[in-house]
Amino acid sequence: MITIDPRTKLILIIITVAFSMLIPTGISTCIWILITTFLGILLGRVGKTLKATLLFGILWFVAIYILPEISGTAHTSLLVWLGLVFKCYPCCMLAGIVIGTTKISEFMAAMAKWNVPRSIVIPLAIMFRYFPTLKEDWGHISDAMALRGISLSPVYFLKNPLVVIEALYLPILVTASKTADELSASAITRGVENPKMRTSRLDIRFRMTDGVILFLFLFTFAGIVMFYAGGYV
């Protein structure tokens, strides 16, 4: 397992966004997913990274072998949906890896080294902490409702939509609002509004590993761009 600078991770996200915007969906998307999988495994997020890669493989199989066998409205709808998924998938997959392997303290220290305005850093830091907390609350509520025989499955929702909304969605909305207030109070308690420069005991700096990872992504991106610009496809 390796560790890389949070700033390197942000740069990788920017490169991936540029890739999704400029490069048409195709084999190049599969290549990008492979190097993202490689990165996720190196960062220690093995299980979820492999699951995301497997899901992409299933969707790719559907697009190549099942979609041509469908016609009419179903074909058009599935084609549009898959096109959107393949465009967003590399960014979402990499973002999941970055969020899952970056601590809030590391992110704050890295942004401080870049002299990023705190009006930008603080909302991002709270967002990174908010969604994992919300996911944890969702799991607790789902488990509690399961004891009462209430499920989140599509079949149960179609049979009892009002029960699911009342027992699952309303509590999570209330919890989400409460979590946002608690995170804001926690940030204020830790002195996040202090205008003075904060110190950090974390050793945040670029290393050889960061250079190798950046080179791998940039080299792959440049190679794909040159391949398409050369008219080979």
Backbone angles phi, psi at 198, to 5 degrees: -90, 145
- CA–CA separation, 98 and 16 (whole Å): 12
Domain boundary assignment for the chain? 1-102+203-233, 104-202
> Has this prediction a pTM greater than 0.85?
no
Residue 195 confidence (pLDDT): 67
Residue 191 confidence (pLDDT): 67
Which amino acid makes up residue 232? Y
Judge contact between 20 and 88, C-beta under 8 A: yes
Residue 52 confidence (pLDDT): 94
pLDDT by 10s per residue, the chain, length 233: 788 888 899 999 999 999 998 888 888 999 999 999 999 999 988 999 999 999 999 999 999 888 888 888 888 888 888 889 999 999 999 998 998 888 877 877 787 777 777 777 777 777 777 777 777 888 888 888 888 787 777 777 778 888 877 777 778 888 877 877 777 777 677 666 666 666 667 677 888 998 999 999 999 999 998 888 765 55
Residue 190 confidence (pLDDT): 67
Q: Which two tokens stand for residue 35?
A: 């190097």
Burial 104-138 (b: 16+ CB within 10 A, else e): eebbbbbbbeeeeebeebbeebbebbbeeeeeebb
Radius of gyration of the chain (CA): 21
- CA–CA separation, 169 and 143 (whole Å): 14
